[in-house]
Structure 1
Amino acid sequence: MGRRYFGTDGVRGRVGEVPITPEFVMRLGYAAGVTLVAREKLPAGEHPAVLIGKDTRISGYMLEAALEAGFSAAGVDVILAGPIPTPAVAYLTRALRLQAGVVISASHNPFYDNGIKFFSAGGAKLADAVEAEIESRLDQPMGCAEAARLGKARRVADAAGRYIEFCKSTFPNELDLRGMRIAVDCAHGAAYHIAPKVFHELGAEVLPVGVEPNGLNINDGVGATRPEHLKKAVLAHRADLGVALDGDADRLIMVDQRGQIYDGDKLLYVVARARHAEGRLDGVVGTLMSNLGFEHAIARLGVPFARAKVGDRYVLELLHERGWKLGGENSGHIICLDRHTTGDGIVSALQVLAALKQQGQTLAEACAELVFYPQKLINVGLPAGFDWQADPGIAAAQARAEAELGDSGRVLLRPSGTEPLLRVMVEGRDGVVVERLAGDIAAVVERASA
């Protein structure tokens, strides 16, 4: 049976529409709380406790209050962290020995979207079985614990400061960032008061970008999904590097001093190459979207490579399955399990910087042997209920493209896990052919779904 509300990255949607309404989110908090109470065998009189963090969307105030009410009604204590990055919630949940963590964020989406994401006590994405149990309780009437068993709420002291120190601890003690001018774009999101301090306290001269959230401007023309803004800042201020995060700071894109943009595949390669040189790289996990050039470059290092489905939770699953520590997506999710339990944009940036420092190289030099195949991605909107996999015209268009590419490329059609889109990706040696084939398939999908 398919899940109705939980997607690849929690529950997400447009604010004011189910499931992102105050009433539904309160019921979600209650269902999650009842699940925690049932699963946790705590001594009599003790309550499970959850940490709630959020990004800078204006709707976060409303949803935070709704979640707090739901958890309290279920007999779960709530610890409020305020605006902090998603990976900060994962870290603090583990560090404070809490039973779960919750993030109110829609990541890279516009301000009018929001979402609810859960972390386990160990700081990892919530297991599918637990999400399914929470969903099953959403069908049941919402109750309320007796007055003496209601959960309490409090704010955690210096959540930002604790996380800043954690991020700094992932950077080698013998290194610093003195002499570097780094532009840090926080997308007017959750890291606006954190990321600049991390790089500054490690010695860099920091040029803050996207650090004036007003509740409505998160990801608006800035951040990891709009790296051109950071590129302009790097060139204008003659910075050595630029670091771009998304709204909840779990993605990373970087820009070098020439204005060249480096996506997740390139940054993951820099870290992998450095780990390999140190003799501590067992394998690398990418996704179906990872460039063939990246896969071939990893192979030249003599390192095993595996592809997961798109989505950082699937990268994590495959890493745990293989017992490897490093993986990521070209969108900028980079997971270093020897540093954190989840993808973390700030921590990933520090791993890239450490690699460059240790090898005495620029980003361009570190990526010199990485040659990408041309890749074209087109997002096509899909109407509700349209079964693109059953459409013979789409299947035929894909087959024609694959036949023309042969062994020199590939075609990937996949639905977005967070938006009503079909992602059409074509990759091959000839950029002109790639562009044409991607456009042809996208046009067929548009006609079929009209």
Structure 2
Amino acid sequence: MTKIVTGSQEFFKGINQVQFEGLESDNPLAFRWYEADRIVAGKTMNEHFKFACSYWHSFNGNGSDPFGGPTHFFPWETKTDPIERAKDKMDAAFEFITKMQMPYYCFHDVDVVDYGNDVAENERRLNILVEYAKQKQKDSGVKLLWGTANLFSHSRYMNGAATNPDFHVLAHGAAQVKAAIDATIALGGENYVFWGGREGYMSLLNTNMKREQEHLARFLHTAKDYARKQGFNGTFFIEPKPCEPSKHQYDYDAATVKGFLQQYDLLADFKLNLEVNHATLAGHTFQHELQVAVDNNLLGSIDANRGDYQNGWDTDQFPNDINELTESLLIILEGGGLQGGGVNFDAKIRRNSTDSKDLFYAHVGGMDIFARALLTADAILTKSDYKKVRSDRYRSFDDAHGEAFENGKLSLEELRDIAVQMGEPASISGRQEYLENLINRYI
């Protein structure tokens, strides 16, 4: 059992540590499916998921939106001194994380402590909180899954950071990344993430796209080289997103990022951190993005959330679709699992969810739905004919002419002659409805 870690005050009073109670439980603050040490497909659930709490949404997200101000007023945000206020927030964060028994957390630099416009002062503040976090991690056993720098919120980054047309702005972005990498290393972070929130364009009329992408590649190489020199052995992740806030972002989707990494010789050090809501904004399913990553050996980590299909923006709601997650876990399991990363709940409670328990309900539900999907996907892979149905669909490539084609032994002329010889092909069913029913049968 994880030890609960609190500060000088308890922020989530009356809430005990969340435990596994099984399917018979009616306790909304207990796990019904997630059993950390239960072995599924050769690994514990804890090892499969490495669940992480996102520092930003959970402890900074105040419920505001483009149409209204804050609705969440946190008791850890009352002090005026930025360092003391940040320590209170970290006390609250580790109290929540340990009460949830989550093994990891993730942060942006500005989530941990408020930044101003002075680079040296920002670094001083972050270093103080890093030392504070070291003790929290030691006391709790909670680890840092990954760190990152927020290069999109400050007004200086209105035209991007690494892709900004002003070198002065790029240098400020580099200073932030250096400090965030240093903090990640100091806290034993297992990975480091780059999300290009504004690395893109609003209009091609004023954009040199080729030059900006070259600058982005040079920036990533420079950051990677620095981290390696400092002894960082973890993986760097790129998190694709097609738009919002930019009209078009250079890390549009998994396939686009794969091409970028390949073109600029970054594949050896970088993998993908995929997000459900970003996939749907790109016009894809999350399953599609996962499959692209698996097929290219790039599936590093995932952000767990969902969008609202009636809204066209990134709503970052907690996951609750068992069918979608089961299909996703099928791909992740067959692909060998996440490479270095975990499942980070990049999700926020709703604007009108104002009780302290709401944050717990959201994470309990998210962890349970992933556990249920894992059990379902494993059962499908081990007990059903799911894999056989798919492999049989391609069996004509397993021998004879099909195998010769795959091995590059047939010319176009030979393919033409085979078509004449064999005549019109018979229709072969894709059996989509059968497979959809199969998923539901095992849920």
Query: Which structure has the higher relative contact order (CA within 8 Å, separation 6+)?
Result: 2
Q: Which has the higher helix share?
A: 2
Whose radius of gyration is greater, 1 or 2? Answer: 2
TM-score normalized by structure 2?
0.28
TM-score normalized by structure 1?
0.27
Q: Which has the higher strand share?
A: 1
